[in-house]
Amino acid sequence: MLQTKIIKVSGESASPTPRQEEAIRCAGEILRQGGLVAFPTETVYGLGGDALNKDSSRKIYEAKGRPSDNPLIVHIYRMEDLPVVAQVNDAAVKIAEAFWPGPLTMILPKTERVPAETTGGLGTVAVRMPSHPVAQKLIACAGGFVAAPSANASGKPSPTLAKYVAEDMMGKIEMILDGGEVGIGLESTIIDLTVSPPQILRPGYITEAMLQQVLEEVDTDVTILDENSGQAPRAPGMKYRHYAPKGELTIVTGDAEKVVEYINLHAKQNSMSGEKVGVIATEETLHCYQAQVVKSVGSRMDESSIAHHLYRVLRELDDEQVTCIYSEGFTAEGFGQAIMNRLLKAAGHKVITLE
Ligand code: AMP
Ligand code: MG
């Protein structure tokens, strides 16, 4: 067992203080020595290791319990480092100019500097430049290349707070940098630039419409919302059950009044048969439900509030040992596509549609 140190650092909007900078330098040194450090980014907490050191990547898989065919994202902090890890093309330059630093990951052919362990044996590499000041500083202090998947145990919701990183990683990694609650709350958009037209493999805050303003044509992997497409997802990670709470989650969508009626009826029946029932509602509908645990995930008027709270609510339902969960559904357009993609995976695609 390792002694995991937890160190408080600044959030997204402030620069680190001199003392925090010292802590980040120390974290960078741990990464240079082949150790692991969890850190805040603008999307979710990442579990970092030196991306160019195959032993560090192995340790990341081990700490997460992650299948080793599921590649890691390499994080950089400046554009001039991109050619070190990837073969850059025109589309990559355009995308980087428009969206970096920020919540966008691009897939490109890898260079020989990147070990096969980091890319799950693939000839391509996923690269992102995060905007969070702590992440940027840490990557610089670590030598420029930090492999970092989300800092959760494999299969669990990604952590948006350091306490959830600690829950999954205590004793398995050297350090956790605690920057408070992260802003976006869902993982980065992934776009594959090795195919023509480029294809979105995982939806996120940067939407298809935003990407289409920069690239003429953009496709989206059909498996993102449709489980029955008969195809395998192109991002290896998307084939695994993911983001899942311990309780059995069902999404109920359709006519708003019928959704409330259905959830209340089933919540009552399930609790009579001994289940502890939780409901994922919205600000607008919170007062409509009778169940043991009812939580608002945000407002329907503001989908970024829903993204921001989703993983936290799933973790809180685990904390309260809820065994059966009903969630309202959301419109799968724009940023909503990312919300529904994660919610569908968390529910193992169990959806009730009421006309
Ligand atoms: P995480 O870092 O936990 O958000 O997971 C990284 C995601 O990026 C997983 O779904 C991976 O399958 C995906 N990914 C990483 N590298 C590649 C790659 N070279 N090609 C396709 N998908 C990738
Ligand atoms: Mg993840």
Return the CATH number at 207: 3.90.870.10
Q: What is the DSSP letter of 238?
A: G
pLDDT for 142-156, tens place per residue? 999 999 999 999 989
Domain contains 240? no
* CATH number of the domain to which 326 belongs: 3.40.50.11030
- Cα(148) to centroid(ligand 2), Å: 9
Calpha distance 240→114 (Å, rounded): 24
pLDDT for 19-48, tens place per residue? 999 999 999 999 999 999 999 999 999 999
> 195 and 69, same structural domain?
yes
> 279 and 169, same structural domain?
no
The whole-chain average pLDDT of the chain stands at 94
* Domain that includes residue 39, residue range: 5-220
Instruction: Please check whether residue 121 is in contact with residue 240, taking contact to mean a CB–CB distance below 8 angstroms.
Output: no
pLDDT for 148-180, tens place per residue? 999 999 989 999 999 999 999 999 999 999 999
Domain contains 73? yes
Give the pLDDT confidence score for residue 144 in this predicted structure.
98
Domain contains 55? yes
Domain contains 226? no
Domain contains 350? yes
Domain contains 38? yes
Give the pLDDT confidence score for residue 135 in this predicted structure.
97
The CB of 190 under 6 Å from ligand 1? The reply is: yes
In this structure, which residue's CA is closest to atom 20 in ligand 1? Answer: 235
- Cα(186) to centroid(ligand 2), Å: 10
User: What order of strands is seen across the sheet that includes strand 293-296?
Assistant: 293-296, 277-281, 324-328, 248-254, 351-354
Q: What is the pTM of this model?
A: 0.95
Q: What is the DSSP letter of 150?
A: B
In this structure, which residue's CA is closest to atom 5 in ligand 1? Answer: 149
pLDDT band at 233 (very low <50, low <70, confident <90, very high): confident
- Cα(119) to centroid(ligand 2), Å: 14
Of 190, 221, 223, 311, which is best to mutate to test ligand 1, by the most ligand atoms within 8 angstroms of its C-beta? Answer: 190
pLDDT band at 335 (very low <50, low <70, confident <90, very high): very high
Domain contains 301? yes
Give the pLDDT confidence score for residue 234 in this predicted structure.
80
Cis amide prior to 101 (ω within 30 degrees): yes
Domain contains 229? no
The total number of structural domains in the chain stands at: 2
H-helix or E-strand spanning residue 343: helix 336-346
